[in-house]
Amino acid sequence: MQAQSTYEIVHMWSTSFGLVLMVAMFIAVIVYALWPGNKKAFEHAASLALNEDMDQADPKTERDR
In tens, the pLDDT along 1-60 reads: 467 899 999 999 999 999 999 999 999 999 999 999 999 999 988 888 777 666 565 556
Domain spans in the chain, listed from the N-terminal domain onward: 1-25, 35-65
Q: 20 Cβ partners below 8 Å, 6+ apart?
A: none
Q: How far is CA 9 from CA 14, 15, 46, 57, in A?
A: 9, 10, 47, 63
pTM above 0.75, yes or no: no
